[in-house]
Structure 1
Amino acid sequence: MMRERFVDTTTALLGDDPRTALVLADISAAAFEPAARRHPDRVLNVGIREQLMVGVAGGLALTGLRPIVHTYAPFLVERAYEQLKLDLDHQGVTAVLVSVGASYDRAAAGRTHLSPADVSLVDSLHGWTVHVPGHPDEVPTLLRGAVAADASAYLRLSTQHNARPYGGDGTLRVLRDAGPGAPLLVAVGPVLDAALAAVADLGVTVAYTHRPRPFDTAGLRALADTEVILVEPYLAGTSARVVSAALADRPHRLLALGVGREELRRYGSAEDHTRWHGLDAVGLRRSVDEFLASAPASAGR
């Protein structure tokens, strides 16, 4: 699982690089106990004080350390957003945020543990890189790269994943080429398998990325014709402004799919929420069929 790969990679980084530090707010503290015993000055658990956690990370960064900050997405991004804005960005220091829980992995825990808007909030900050791995095997390389980059980054881990890793540097990777003029579907992270299944018998080109920020706009312009379908595992439309801006000089139609804005007010499992938000293969196929059927007669396909 992604969380285990994160723990293993971070533990190794703490041993390899004396600049690396880890700040926790109880979540995953037990998994990092061996690392805390070996590096008590660089593994800090502040308890259930997420705002303090980010503030401590800002202080560590001011001393020259490279902090990794970790907890559930709603506590890391939504609850501590002011500290991200002030204690990191405003102070001109950087950190690597690593979340678990994604949009609704812990659906059974209720609304407190759901965070479909996290990437949108991080996107309101300046110059952050966002990684959304689609498989556990993508996590170590992404984490090591983020720590080495000395820039602010958000790594969004999930219990949901594709059947195989795809890696790469985050530029759009074509996994299914339907030829010139075909609609382009861009899948981010763990929604790829469902997207591929949804359009398996359609003339749709499918490209994958685990790095929605910075979005590969050059790759998008090279691949896109008239119709673009964006499938993201967080709030629907999060990357719509980036895609629209990249294609502003050419006629295009955009379908942005993701987690809906309406609060469902029910528990269920992560698989239930995927289905309710139309992000399973059946739901995606329904949305894609409606979108393509509504195309003007002059639109190329």
Structure 2
Amino acid sequence: MDTMRDRFAPVVSRLLDEDPRVAVVLAEISGDGFAEAARRHPDRVINVGIREQLLVGAGAGLALTGMRPVVHTFASFLVERPFEQVKLDLGHQDVGAVLVSASASFDWPAGGYTHMAPGDVALLDTLDGWTVHVPGHPDEAETLLRHAVGAGEGKDDKAYVRLSVQSNGRAGTVDGQRFLTVHEGRRGVVVAVGPMLDAVLAATEGLDVTVLYETTVRPFDSAALHRATESKGTDVVLVEPYLAGTSTPAANDALGDVPHRVLGLGVGRRELRRYGQVEEHMAAHGLDAASLRERIDGFLGARLGV
């Protein structure tokens, strides 16, 4: 199966053909994938080199002229390194762009800590007005990329699409807005974000819980979570492929009118200095199916006294 990043250049190249407002700004990463598109649209495929602050600034400049820029590089160089430009050039100037990342949390362990960004979504949470998509399958990535860019729709909002090498086995029918209900139960609610769904389903097999699937994490679908807890109790477990607890405040706000408990599972804050493989990072952060089963069952069982 191809990866989400494999879909990125072909999908956005087609969007360049479909809408003269769409432009792509690169910082060397994925440049080869846009070689043909650059020949067709030399004025709308821009490679600024390894200059990430300029990357975001150029995207904002294009947005100020009415273009719809798609800005791409690794997450650590797209959100963390040029955060001042994300905050000021896009946010303060109130212009939109689509930031598309690759190799977030620990997708390329051999790249070392400089190429890891488990705090990217939490960092964007400090800013106002961002839509954040976290697809869990290449098909979903294609759908959410098209939704974010909005070719032909005149979109000018700020969106972040987080691509990953991790993937679920099957795609869901995502719409860029709502949670999907994958399984219904009575013991509690487990929210699986993007590529965490398969591990969550394996971890909750045989448990009497509701499983919600979330690929658009901002805005947070508060109504869906509130509905899911009405007849299932108000114990909620969030399983996110980035910094643990990132969406815990959003879940607390959604359930502010009822007594509830929330357990936020995700990537821990401690740096792992033996980089290993993606699967080893998953296990080290307790995000493999066996670890999730133990943590989810322990949390839900504590209330029931089992």
**Cα deviation 1:225-264 (Å, max 9, x = unaligned):** 2210100000000000000011111111111100001111
Distance 1:71 1:168 in 2: 24
Partner residue of 1:172? Answer: 179
Distance 2:90 2:234 in 1: 40
Distance 1:286 1:265 in 2: 25
Determine helix, strand or coil for the equivalent of 1:8: helix
Q: Paired residue for 2:188, among 178, 183, 186?
A: 183
> 1:182: how far off?
2.3
1:92 equivalenced with 2:97 (yes/no): no
Q: Which amino acid aligns with 2:203?
A: A
Q: Which amino acid aligns with 1:158?
A: S
Q: Which amino acid aligns with 1:191?
A: M
Distance 1:80 1:207 in 2: 33
Q: Paired residue for 2:30, among 28, 35, 41?
A: 28
Distance 1:190 1:168 in 2: 13
Distance 2:88 2:11 in 1: 28
Distance 2:226 2:156 in 1: 29
Q: Paired residue for 1:82, among 81, 84, 99?
A: 84
**Cα deviation 1:94-150 (Å, max 9, x = unaligned):** 100000002100011110111000001111111110000000001122111111132
Q: Which amino acid aligns with 1:175?
A: V
Q: Paired residue for 2:200, among 195, 201, 210?
A: 195
Partner residue of 2:264? Answer: 256
Partner residue of 2:221? Answer: 216
Partner residue of 2:162? Answer: 156
Aligned-residue CA RMSD (Å): 1.2
Q: Which amino acid aligns with 1:163?
A: G
Q: Which moved more, 1:135-144 or 1:45-54?
A: 135-144
Q: Which amino acid aligns with 1:17?
A: D
Distance 2:17 2:178 in 1: 31
Off by >4 Å, runs of 4+ in structure 1 = none
Distance 1:206 1:281 in 2: 14
User: Sequence identity, in percent?
Assistant: 58
Contact conserved, 2:25 with 2:48, CA < 8 A, in 1? yes
Distance 1:204 1:219 in 2: 15
Partner residue of 2:299? Answer: 291
Q: Paired residue for 1:268, among 260, 273, 276?
A: 276
Contact conserved, 2:104 with 2:163, CA < 8 A, in 1? yes
Distance 2:187 2:180 in 1: 16
Distance 2:25 2:217 in 1: 25
Determine helix, strand or coil for the equivalent of 1:69: strand
Distance 2:295 2:104 in 1: 23
Determine helix, strand or coil for the equivalent of 1:30: helix
1:44 equivalenced with 2:49 (yes/no): no
Partner residue of 1:138? Answer: 140
Distance 2:100 2:216 in 1: 14
**Cα deviation 1:43-101 (Å, max 9, x = unaligned):** 00000000000000010001110000000000000001100001111111110000000
Distance 1:193 1:296 in 2: 26
Determine helix, strand or coil for the equivalent of 1:219: helix
> 1:158: how far off?
0.3
Q: Which amino acid aligns with 2:100?
A: V
Distance 1:167 1:87 in 2: 34
After TM superposition, the score normalised by the length of structure 1 is 0.96
Partner residue of 2:287? Answer: 279
Count of matched residue pairs: 296
Gaps of 5+ in 2: none
Gaps of 5+ in 1: none
Q: Which amino acid aligns with 1:207?
A: L
Q: Paired residue for 1:57, among 59, 64, 87?
A: 59
Partner residue of 1:241? Answer: 249
**Cα deviation 1:248-282 (Å, max 9, x = unaligned):** 11111111100001111221011110111011101
Distance 1:94 1:257 in 2: 31
Determine helix, strand or coil for the equivalent of 2:257: coil
Q: Which amino acid aligns with 2:218?
A: R
